[in-house]
């Protein structure tokens, strides 16, 4: 088995090719984001990122953020969310909890207060159902800042919400009026 540093490298590489740049190694994502596992392993290894099915199974099973999922027949893999390439994840609109959270860095707060939460180069805005997860996300961007999102009110006002395979709530945009500073 490979060490933790190598697993992290492989996981980040998988995020790159399954979410943003499949062309890096010459794989194709279908309209739902799936790609053939055998081809992924072969082309990643040819590119110089070495792993086998056992390592891939380990990464999918142990990734704390559950970033990747296998299909029912275990011959395809996809990223659970976070794509910058256009795909249809097949998630069904559903009612969110009353409050969701969005973690960011303090340097982004003013921009968010000016425009609301925008998906930018991703397919969706990512929201969490708990404050602690939002803090962890925010820490990736400097000093963390957490917004409360009035998700239930947005849903009542006809905004759509989806929940990914790994429990991340997704929506297209969060206008300013649905954002509150979180002080948990």
Structure tokens at 146: 């957490």
Domain that holds residue 22: 4-79
In a domain, residue 158? The reply is yes
- At 13, the pLDDT band (50, 70, 90 cuts) reads very high
Task: Please check whether residues 62 and 116 belong to one and the same domain.
Answer: no
Q: Which residue has the tokens 């056992």?
A: 54
Across the range 59-86, mean pLDDT stands at 85
Task: Please check whether residues 52 and 119 belong to one and the same domain.
Answer: no
Enter the pTM of the model.
Answer: 0.64
CA 102 and chain centroid, separation: 13
Structure tokens at 85: 């390439």
Across the range 28-54, mean pLDDT stands at 94
Task: Please check whether residues 65 and 116 belong to one and the same domain.
Answer: no
Task: Please check whether residues 62 and 107 belong to one and the same domain.
Answer: no
Percent of the chain with pLDDT over 90: 70
Task: Please check whether residues 107 and 73 belong to one and the same domain.
Answer: no
- At 123, the pLDDT band (50, 70, 90 cuts) reads confident
Q: In CATH, what number is assigned to the domain containing residue 30?
A: 1.10.10.970
Q: Which residues of 140-162 are buried (b: 16+ CB within 10 A; e: fewer)?
A: eeeebbbbbbbbbebbeeebebb
Nearest to 41 by CA among 30, 29, 31, 55: 55
Task: Please check whether residues 11 and 58 belong to one and the same domain.
Answer: yes
Count how many domains the chain has: 2
Task: Please check whether residues 23 and 60 belong to one and the same domain.
Answer: yes
In a domain, residue 117? The reply is yes
Report pLDDT digits (tens) over 124-137. 899 999 999 999 98
Task: Please check whether residues 117 and 59 belong to one and the same domain.
Answer: no
**Backbone phi and psi for residue 181, each to the nearest 5 degrees, phi listed first:** -70, 130
Handedness of CA 114, 93, 84, 4 (dihedral sign): positive
Task: Please check whether residues 24 and 67 belong to one and the same domain.
Answer: yes
Task: Please check whether residues 31 and 64 belong to one and the same domain.
Answer: yes
Task: Please check whether residues 60 and 119 belong to one and the same domain.
Answer: no
Task: Please check whether residues 111 and 42 belong to one and the same domain.
Answer: no
Q: In CATH, what number is assigned to the domain containing residue 146?
A: 3.20.170.30
């Amino acid at each position: 088995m490979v060490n933790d540093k190598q697993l992290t490298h492989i996981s980040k590489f998988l995020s790159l090719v399954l979410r943003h740049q499949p062309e890096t190694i010459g794989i194709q994502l279908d309209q739902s984001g799936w790609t053939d596992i055998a081809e992924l392993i072969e082309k990643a290894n040819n590119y110089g990122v070495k792993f086998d099915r056992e390592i891939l199974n380990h990464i999918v099973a142990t990734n704390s953020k559950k970033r990747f999922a296998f299909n029912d027949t275990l011959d395809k893999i996809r990223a659970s969310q976070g794509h910058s390439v256009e795909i249809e994840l097949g998630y069904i609109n559903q009612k969110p909890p009353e409050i969701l959270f969005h973690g960011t860095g303090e340097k982004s707060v003013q921009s968010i207060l000016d425009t609301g939460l925008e998906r930018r180069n991703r397919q969706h805005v990512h929201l969490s159902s708990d404050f602690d997860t939002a803090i962890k996300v925010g820490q990736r961007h400097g000093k963390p800042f957490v917004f409360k999102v009035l998700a239930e009110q947005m849903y009542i006002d006809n905004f759509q919400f989806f929940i990914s395979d790994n429990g991340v709530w997704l929506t297209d945009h969060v206008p300013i009026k649905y954002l509150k500073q979180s002080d948990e």
